[in-house]
Amino acid sequence: MVRHLYVHLPFCASRCGYCGFVVEVGALDRRDAYLDAVRVELGAERACLGALETVYLGGGTPTLMRPHRIATLLEDVAPHLAPGAEVSMEANPETVDRAAWDRYRAAGITRVSIGAQSFQPELLAVLDRRATADQVRRAVACAQEAGFASVSIDLLFGVPGQTAAQLAADIAEVAALGVDHVSWYELEIKPDTALERMGVPLPDEDWGADAYETIVAELERHGYRWYETANFARPGHECRHSLAYWEARDYLGLGVGAVSTIDGVRWRNRSALGGYLGDMASRGRPGRTEEALEDAVRRRERWMLGLRLDRPLDTVWAGPPDHPDALARLADGGLLEVSGSRVVLTRRGRFVQNAVLHQLMEFV
Ligand SMILES: C[S@@+](CC[C@H](N)C(=O)[O-])C[C@H]1O[C@@H](n2cnc3c(N)ncnc32)[C@H](O)[C@@H]1O
Ligand code: SF4
């Protein structure tokens, strides 16, 4: 029985230059058909749903579904929710206003994650973002007024051309807004994106490492806990849905391209919208690729995900690392701490997490 549900809502007004997600541009006329299809898929998976502790509506741009469709979807989900469930939705700033937030909240959304990416006009232009910095500020302020339990924003660092002064200005904006939660990712150049095709040079590695250290130090100074590699929260505002992924719990994913992991089996729904809608109309289930997760794969995932957190990983549950002898060496080097069966990265270790993982695990 799963306790965590993800729903993929793929529609976007345009594709941002760095985005490699499963998104559909120019297909807004298919939103109703898509909503119907996802509801059918939810019905088909009913048997595996336990009391849901978290639900996450991601995308794409879920807010392009508009409040009435989100409300219809959540009416179907509501009977499965555990008391106090977290119901998150991603939102693009230019698609929401105070009235929309009120309707999302009334529909049952408890937590919103707003895609800011930056407050610097030059960087928003490099990223092909539609929202201006002012729209981001207004979207956050209105969400705070609307009274969601948690308001989060996403930012990027390592954007081509980004300077230390621009980074400092973004940090100051985040602090001034006083959001509950911040996700601050290093920009990755994904295959088949406009940024990749343009071949724009990224800031060098040292710049990225310094930027990361600055972000962590400054957000901590402003009262955020660095609870995961790229995530920061005020007390009690950690994203419970993301924690479920990092704790390698089972989850069900609905919609085009969505991934599920249940009882050691992982499957991915087909990622073409037309194919997904066709499957749902003809046989009520999407085409999928399925993989039985071998023990070694699950063990490696538990380590890879678990060491992202600032809380210890229980190695009795996770299983041993591929190279157990590396544990003592890394502990002597001040990169991790071992206490009985529990392992956690030190602060220094967290900044070089990938290097630590490569000493502990084989990656195939
Ligand atoms: C599913 S995405 C999209 C959410 C929303 N549609 C938006 O654009 O704001 C969630 C977050 O992933 C991050 N992200 C997307 N592409 C990325 C990339 N190439 N490298 C690093 N982070 C990325 C962004 O911060 C984004 O807000
Ligand atoms: S970054 Fe967000 S808005 Fe931009 S294309 Fe990707 S999902 Fe859509």
Amino acid 235: pLDDT: 97
Please state, in angstroms and as integers, the Cα–Cα distance from residue 131 to each residue in 50, 171, 231, 271, following that order. 38, 18, 22, 27
Correct CATH for 2-246 of 3.40.50.1370, 3.40.50.720, 3.20.20.70, 3.40.50.300? 3.20.20.70
pLDDT surpasses 80 at 45: yes
Residue 15 has pLDDT above 90, yes or no: yes
Residue 336 β-bridge partners: 345
Q: Report angle CA 193, 89, 138 to the nearest 5 degrees.
A: 85
Q: Binning pLDDT at 50, 70 and 90, where does residue 335 land?
A: very high
**Residue boundaries of the structural domains of the chain:** 2-246, 295-360
**Residue 23: nearest ligand to its CA?**
2
Q: Provide the token pair at 218.
A: 């400054």
Q: At what angle do helices 98-107 and 66-77 cross, to 10 degrees?
A: 10
Q: Which residues contact 335 (CB under 8 A, 6 or more apart)?
A: 345, 346, 348, 349, 352, 356
Helix, coil or strand: residue 253: strand
- Residue with the smallest CA separation from ligand 1 atom 25 is 154
Task: Give the pLDDT mean for 274-291.
Answer: 96
Query: Would you say the pTM of this structure is higher than 0.95?
Result: yes
Ligand 1 mean position, distance from CA 21 (Å): 8
For residue range 167-181, list pLDDT tens digits in order.
999 999 999 999 999
pLDDT averaged over every residue in the chain: 97
Ligand 1: atom nearest CA of 16 is 8
Asked if pLDDT for residue 343 goes beyond 90, the answer is yes
Amino acid occupying residue 203 = P
Average pLDDT rounded to a whole number, residues 48-66: 97
C-alpha distances (whole Å) from 148 to each of 69, 85, 174, 225 are 19, 13, 18, 20
Q: Which atom of ligand 2 is nearest to the CA of 60?
A: 7
Q: What is the pLDDT of residues 62-94, one digit of tens each?
A: 999 999 999 999 999 999 999 999 999 999 999
Ligand 2 atom 7 nearest Cα: 60
What is the 19 CA–ligand 1 centroid distance (Å)? 7
Q: Given a cut of 90, is residue 276 above it in pLDDT?
A: yes
Report which bound ligand comes closest to the CA of 115: 1
Query: Whose Cα sits closest to atom 1 in ligand 1?
Result: 59
Can you tell me the distance from the alpha carbon of 118 to that of 127, in angstroms, rounded to the nearest whole number? Answer: 9
pLDDT level of residue 364 (50, 70, 90 thresholds): low
pLDDT score at 187: 96
Is the pLDDT assigned to residue 188 strictly greater than 90? Answer: yes
pLDDT tens digit string along 194-240?
A: 999 988 888 888 999 999 999 999 999 999 999 999 999 999 999 99
Architecture of domain 295-360: Orthogonal Bundle (1.10)
In CATH terms, are 2-246 and 295-360 the same topology?
A: no
For residue 345, list its beta bridge partners.
336
Note the pLDDT of residue 155.
98
What is the token pair recorded at 192?
């088949």
User: 77-104 burial, b if ≥16 CB within 10 A, otherwise e?
Assistant: beebbeeebbbbbbbbbbbbeeebbebb
